[in-house]
């Protein structure tokens, strides 16, 4: 089989999202076998690099497409990095405060939060998890604040027009749905996505598009799933995701990733 390049989402695809946060042994074995067969294996995630746990890095991926395509690594070497300007970073703080948005500002090497925004229980759970796991966290008022992308949680009754007007032309808005009493969104600079990260690496390694595979389970995976020549949605994914792919596999709890990779003779 010709050399292929495989792209994997993290949460719900590699890592269980039931609270145990484990990687099925079948997934580890399938990825290792794919590498033995000469294929390249990359994480393709909305997470920035600092938020990728050691247990994921220990799986042995060749590299990482991070921050929805804003940052790319191959065997520890940074191949691409996009940073938002300081001016836009400051403007973002003003508009997120105005719209009562609890925001996780994400960069390759740090996370930042705004302590002046009202408490948000859904957001606070995430920050508590990050703090317990040693993630670097600063306040937006601290010296050195910047971000590459961000994720926000806002009250459902909030008027979001000022925010939408601000990001228009500068960022893409990814609707992450409802979380409790809050709406959730992921905001990425224009021109970057999980799909552009894939395209960058296909060009870098001169691999034909028909040899590209993507595996995911969420709406923020749609750019890579629709771009890939061969796309797989995990069982239990939202209907919009399942309708966008070539194959819907079993759930992560039924060894779905390994099942799909075996179907495509990748491992």
In tens digits, the chain (267 residues) has pLDDT values of 799 999 999 999 999 988 788 999 999 999 999 999 999 999 999 999 998 989 999 999 999 999 999 999 999 999 999 999 999 999 999 999 999 999 999 999 999 999 898 888 878 887 887 777 777 789 999 998 999 999 999 999 999 999 999 999 999 999 988 888 899 999 999 999 999 999 999 999 999 999 999 999 988 899 999 999 999 999 999 999 999 999 999 999 999 999 999 999 999
**The two structure tokens encoding residue 199:** 């395209």
Alpha helices, DSSP H only, in the chain?
Answer: 25-36, 54-57, 86-98, 121-132, 161-167, 194-205, 222-227, 239-242, 256-263
The Cα–Cα gap between 43 and 14 comes to: 9
Which CATH number describes the domain made up of 86-189?
Answer: 3.30.1240.10
Class (C level, CATH) for 5-81+192-263: alpha beta
Q: Determine the length of the chain.
A: 267
Residue 34, both tokens: 């794919």
Which residues are bridge partners to 248 per DSSP?
Answer: 233
Instruction: Tell me which residue has tokens 């796991």.
Output: 133
Cα atoms in the 13 Å half-sphere on the side-chain side of 236: 14
Domain coordinates in residue numbering, the chain: 5-81+192-263, 86-189
Instruction: Tell me the DSSP string of 72-121.
Output: EEETTEEEEE----HHHHHHHHHHHHHTT-EEEEEETTEEEE-TTSPP-H
């Amino acid at each position: 089989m010709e050399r292929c390049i495989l792209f994997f989402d993290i949460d719900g695809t590699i890592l269980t999202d039931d609270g145990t946060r484990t990687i099925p042994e079948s997934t580890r074995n399938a990825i290792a076998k794919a590498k033995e067969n000469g294929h390249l294996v990359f994480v393709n995630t909305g997470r920035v690099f600092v938020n990728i746990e050691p247990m994921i890095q220990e799986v042995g991926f060749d590299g990482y497409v991070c921050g929805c395509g804003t940052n790319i690594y191959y065997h520890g070497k940074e191949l691409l990095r996009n940073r938002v300007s300081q001016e836009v970073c400051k403007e973002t703080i003003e508009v997120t405060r105005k719209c009562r948005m609890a925001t996780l500002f994400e960069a390759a090497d740090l996370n930042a939060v705004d302590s002046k925004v009202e408490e948000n229980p859904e957001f606070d759970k995430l920050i508590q998890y990050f703090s317990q796991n040693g993630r670097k966290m600063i306040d937006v008022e601290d010296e050195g604040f910047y971000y590459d992308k961000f994720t926000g949680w806002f009250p459902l009754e909030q008027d979001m027009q000022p925010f939408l007007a601000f990001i228009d032309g500068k960022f893409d808005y990814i609707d992450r749905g409802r979380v409790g009493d809050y709406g959730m969104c992921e905001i990425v600079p224009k021109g970057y996505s999980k799909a552009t990260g894939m395209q960058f690496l296909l060009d870098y390694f001169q691999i034909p598009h028909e040899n590209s595979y993507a595996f995911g389970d969420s709406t923020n995976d749609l750019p890579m799933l629709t771009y890939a020549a061969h796309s797989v949605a995990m069982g239990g994914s939202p209907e919009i995701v399942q309708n966008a792919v070539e194959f819907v596999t079993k759930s992560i709890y039924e060894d779905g990733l390994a099942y799909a990779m075996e179907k495509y003779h990748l491992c």
